[in-house]
């Protein structure tokens, strides 16, 4: 067994390499990728368990990762166990007593305040990591662990009250946005819908109706996969997408002369059909596109 110091160093090394690993894949990974996870030094250390929602490697006294797969409806993207008013995840115990089996190591994570990884699973075989998170309480009467997704550590217990706006921003930034991006990029096969660029690190999930609008839900039909330059152009109304799924470029940009990036990166996209998801149910909402396109043409 590794010493406490060696475990802490290994855990931090895993976190650092997981961040790079996930960034290179567009913010999510498959089960096979996570079970084959290998550090640069050659140590293979699977990050999820194929048969259960908790990962307790022999190298650690405390749990390394848990999986939350509570999405209850295809279009209700974040209908999971995270309490949106508190930013807390209520994670059920495994069968058996608290001091045995998988429960024991998760309880150690609580006692020692060891950071762990939360994998959100919004779709089959699609895992979005949120880390580090902490176990801040145990509820024996409900057979649940309480997971705080706030990495700041300002909340010591469930009794700590946080500002509502802070919690809303926390859940949005740490869960909603990453899961939305993962869903959209997965639907578009990790390619820009405008130019088909396939480098996941350079792709975003562009909202059609802004997420500041109450209708701007983080669902695939309200998003399009776009590379960063086309996302920025879309947000600034230099680029528009009509309800018939055709790309349009602002007339001022079409008339300008400013080198190959403008010529080939934007002007050449004018009139190009949008690259659509294979599943019809994942394609952009035409009514939302029409509303947004009206802003582009005004």
* Other beta carbons within 10 Å of 240: 19
Mean pLDDT (the chain) is 92
Q: Is the peptide bond before 96 cis (omega within 30 degrees of 0)?
A: no
pLDDT at residue 78, rounded to an integer: 41
Domain ranges for the chain, please list them. Answer: 4-181, 189-297
Assign 73 a pLDDT band (cuts: 50, 70, 90): very low
Residue 149: C-alpha distances to residues 86, 102, 114, 168, 254 (Å): 10, 21, 13, 12, 46
The token pair that represents 212 in the structure block: 């500041």
Summarize pLDDT for 195-222 with one digit per residue, the tens: 999 999 999 999 999 988 889 899 999 9
Task: State mean pLDDT over 287-294.
Answer: 97
Summarize pLDDT for 247-265 with one digit per residue, the tens: 999 999 898 988 888 899 9
Measured CA to CA, the distance from residue 195 to residue 265 in angstroms comes to 8
pLDDT at residue 70, rounded to an integer: 54
pLDDT at residue 4, rounded to an integer: 95
Given the candidates 2.30.30, 2.60.40, 1.10.238, 2.30.280, the CATH classification of the domain at 4-181 is 2.30.280
Contacts of 58 (CB under 8 A, 6+ apart): none
């Amino acid at each position: 067994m590794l010493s406490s110091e060696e475990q802490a160093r290994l855990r931090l090394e895993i976190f650092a390499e997981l961040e790079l690993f996930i960034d290179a894949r567009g913010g999510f990974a498959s089960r096979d990728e996570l079970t084959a996870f290998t550090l640069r030094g050659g140590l293979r250390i699977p990050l999820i368990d194929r048969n259960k929602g908790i990962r307790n490697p022999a190298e650690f006294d405390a749990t390394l990762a848990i999986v939350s797969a509570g999405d209850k409806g295809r279009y209700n993207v974040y209908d999971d166990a995270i309490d949106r008013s508190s930013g807390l995840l209520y994670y059920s115990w495994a069968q058996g007593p608290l001091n045995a089996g998988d429960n024991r190591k998760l309880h150690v994570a609580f006692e020692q305040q060891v950071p762990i990884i939360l994998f959100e699973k919004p779709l089959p075989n699609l895992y979005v990591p949120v880390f580090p998170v902490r176990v801040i309480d145990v509820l024996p009467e409900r057979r649940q662990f309480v997971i705080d997704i706030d990495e700041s550590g300002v909340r010591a217990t469930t009794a700590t009250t946080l500002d509502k706006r802070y919690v809303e921003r926390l859940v949005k930034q740490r869960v909603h946005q990453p899961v939305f991006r993962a869903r959209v990029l997965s639907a578009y096969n990790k390619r820009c819908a405008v130019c088909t660029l396939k480098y996941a690190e350079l792709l975003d999930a562009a909202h059609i109706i802004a997420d500041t609008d109450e209708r701007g839900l983080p669902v695939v039909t309200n998003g399009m996969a776009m590379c960063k330059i086309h996302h920025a152009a879309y947000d600034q109304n230099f680029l528009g997408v009509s309800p018939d799924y055709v790309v349009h470029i602002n007339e001022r940009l079409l008339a300008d002369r400013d080198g190959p990036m403008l010529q080939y990166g934007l002007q050449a996209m004018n009139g190009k059909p949008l690259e659509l998801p294979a599943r019809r149910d994942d394609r952009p909402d035409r009514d939302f596109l029409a509303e947004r396109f009206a802003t582009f043409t005004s």
